[in-house]
Structure 1
Amino acid sequence: MTPFRGIALKVISVLLFAIMASCIKATAPHVPPGEAVFFRSFFALPVIVGWLLVRGELRTGLKTQNKMGHFWRGFIGTSAMALGFASLGLLPLPEVTAIGYAAPLLTVVFASMFLGEQVRAFRLSAVGLGLVGVLIVLYPRLTIFGTGDPYSAATLGAVLVLGSAVFRALAQIHIRKLVQTEETAAIVFYFSMTATLLSLLTLPLGWVWPTPWEAALLVSAGLIGGAAQIFLTSAYRFAPASVVAPFDYASMLFAILIGFFIFDEVPTVVMLIGSSIIIGAGVLIIWRERQLGLQRGARQNLTPQG
């Protein structure tokens, strides 16, 4: 293990995903989300296939024992992507990023519900704290909290990104099942393939002919997204998940900088407070997972062998 290399790869992947999101956001006023999903998925495929060829894993990437499992992972992930892309056209980038942090919190809850994983009071408390942070970020957007201003587009955007977080959490649960029989390369490849095909179903909903600039941004989103996925996967080869996972939250810094300098978006105090609480809760969960992993390792070392 070379942790610093793993951390560097993780930070690069987070930065690339932020740039990818900004490319999608720039086209959102004109390009439908389903069309954006197509570009993001289709143009990621050459990058992923090239990576598998270089590593000599193309055959592994095409081999699968669970075709329907990949379909459902693709369906759930594509739904998350479409909802997230739609929200980018309605909310500031930092706000979308902050609400999206609900996904790892919900993953803990869903793991208990659907995988039977034991979740004790500490992690449940951290999840609860994180969801309070999500509510703080949502507060100005949802009229049910009595802000008195409808913000119709922003309200829809908040609902969409929250829905995206739910689907992203469900996708993580499905991936945990897939890795029991499938290689990482296969999961990455078939997700992009499935998302590409599913996005074509949105053609009747009104795709548009992008301008040359929009086309360049959409193609870039696919290429950058594919590269980001590779950096992300590679990061976990060089460092434990508990070491690199906290650097997911560097995305807030990148989102604030990109939002401010590219889209003239100034983060609100409420959003910063809420996102800080969410990030703190996420780090607590990651720390607890690391402690439990160390405890399990110690027990295994104490178990008599042979």
Structure 2
Amino acid sequence: MALSLRLVAAALLALLLALVKLASESGLALPEILFWRQLPTIALIPLFLWLQRSLKKLSTQRLPQHGVRAAIGIVAMSLNFGAVTLLPLAEATTFGFTSAIWAVILSAIVLRERVGLWRWSAVTLGFLGVIIIAQPGDGHVPLFGAAVALASAFTIAIISIYIRDLAQTEDSITIVFYFALFTTPLLTLVLPWFWTAKSPEQWALLGAIGLVGLVGQILLTAALRFGQVASVIVMDYSSLVWATLLGWAVFDRLPPAITWIGAPLIIGAGLLIAWREHRLALGPRANLANG
């Protein structure tokens, strides 16, 4: 079930990024896109739960943890949306896959977890893929855009740890609601500086961003509730297929050959990390080497 949820979420989030890119190219500013991405959540989730007679799901004893998750989450969302406005869809999506690599680095530095040869090799492999795609100094990818995408993946790695912890006691829809509840007022404060008159097409884009983003985030969070991070995150790689198709169909752009050389290295690194963490979870008998 967790894998299916994550698979659908990956498709929806690829669509979300395409909509964000369209909205940005239509002249809408990033803070305004973020605001309309979050606002529908505050109204639609309570309405849905009220119709289901399940409003009690919104009760929580962990407001501080939701606040921390929201603070990191709004930074991650800003960087993620910013990356897709600076990069082609496929490249922005590929750099996002480095979240698994950042998770290994975080576990070693912050959690003091022992990381052995397998996972450090995966980290090296993944960043080799990043260098190949970015081609520092002589590439088709803007280095600033690549840096924003990598920073987004880093913050997403942090969020995955927080969501996994929250999901032990909170429903996925509760986590999504409090994320919007904490961040929408902050976005409201900056909105007057970016507000513009909108065409019907722009309003349609903003409405689609809010709806697709809400459903995708609920499914994404639910997958972390029902499955291990190392297992469900494998399904995220399917979003590269959707990003490539959307980039071709909507923006008339296909990734260059260099992306198809670097992307398998990044994906391979993520799969190696997922495999190794699965082996570690099985216990000492399953491990032939440390880390």
AA partner of residue 245 (structure 1):
I
Question: Do the aligned residues in 2 keep the contact of 1:28 with 1:88 (CA within 8 Å)?
Answer: no
Relative to the length of structure 2, the TM-score reads 0.86
Distance in 2 separating the partners of 1:169 and 1:123: 15
Alignment of structure 1 residues 198-209 onto 2, 5 Å: 198-209=186-197
Alignment of structure 1 residues 164-175 onto 2, 5 Å: 164-175=152-163
The change in CA–CA distance for 1:58 and 1:267 in structure 2 (over 3 A counts) is same
| Structure-2 residue corresponding to 1:161 | 149
1:91-125 residue CA offsets vs partner (Å, 9 max, x unmatched): 11001101111222102211222233332221121
Distance in 2 separating the partners of 1:192 and 1:237: 19
Distance in 2 separating the partners of 1:160 and 1:208: 25
The change in CA–CA distance for 1:54 and 1:239 in structure 2 (over 3 A counts) is farther
Correspondence 1:217 to 2:205: yes
Question: Do the aligned residues in 1 keep the contact of 2:132 with 2:262 (CA within 8 Å)?
Answer: yes
- Give 3-state SS (helix, strand or coil) of 1:31's partner: coil
Distance in 2 separating the partners of 1:297 and 1:180: 28
The change in CA–CA distance for 1:26 and 1:189 in structure 2 (over 3 A counts) is same
Question: Do the aligned residues in 1 keep the contact of 2:80 with 2:152 (CA within 8 Å)?
Answer: yes
Alignment of structure 1 residues 232-243 onto 2, 5 Å: 232-235=220-223, 241-243=229-231
**Quick one: which of 72, 97, 102 aligns to 1:101?**
97
AA partner of residue 137 (structure 2):
G
| Structure-2 residue corresponding to 1:282 | 270
The change in CA–CA distance for 1:189 and 1:272 in structure 2 (over 3 A counts) is same
**Quick one: which of 6, 12, 15 aligns to 1:19?**
15
Question: Do the aligned residues in 2 keep the contact of 1:57 with 1:185 (CA within 8 Å)?
Answer: no
AA partner of residue 31 (structure 2):
G
**Quick one: which of 37, 48, 58 aligns to 2:34?**
37
Distance in 1 separating the partners of 2:232 and 2:258: 28
1:162-188 residue CA offsets vs partner (Å, 9 max, x unmatched): 222222223234335545665544322
Q: Displacement, 1:233?
A: 3.6
Correspondence 1:269 to 2:257: yes
The change in CA–CA distance for 1:85 and 1:210 in structure 2 (over 3 A counts) is farther
AA partner of residue 62 (structure 1):
S
Q: Displacement, 1:20?
A: 1.1
AA partner of residue 61 (structure 1):
L
Alignment of structure 1 residues 36-185 onto 2, 5 Å: 36-50=33-47, 52-53=49-50, 58-65=55-62, 67-139=63-135, 145-147=136-138, 154-179=142-167, 182=170, 184-185=172-173
Distance in 2 separating the partners of 1:42 and 1:60: 19
- Give 3-state SS (helix, strand or coil) of 2:195's partner: coil
Distance in 2 separating the partners of 1:10 and 1:179: 15
Count the aligned residue pairs: 286
Q: Which stretch shows the higher mean deviation, 80-89 or 247-256?
A: 80-89
1:192-239 residue CA offsets vs partner (Å, 9 max, x unmatched): 222322222332542323221111111111111111123334445665
Correspondence 1:295 to 2:283: yes
Question: Do the aligned residues in 1 keep the contact of 2:90 with 2:244 (CA within 8 Å)?
Answer: yes
Determine what percentage of the aligned residue pairs are the same residue: 36
- Give 3-state SS (helix, strand or coil) of 1:43's partner: helix
- Unaligned stretches of 5+ residues in structure 2: 287-291
Distance in 2 separating the partners of 1:109 and 1:49: 38
Relative to the length of structure 1, the TM-score reads 0.83
Distance in 2 separating the partners of 1:271 and 1:68: 41
Distance in 1 separating the partners of 2:3 and 2:250: 26
Distance in 1 separating the partners of 2:227 and 2:69: 25
1:8-45 residue CA offsets vs partner (Å, 9 max, x unmatched): 33221111111111111101121111111111111234
Question: Do the aligned residues in 1 keep the contact of 2:41 with 2:177 (CA within 8 Å)?
Answer: no
Q: Displacement, 1:283?
A: 0.6
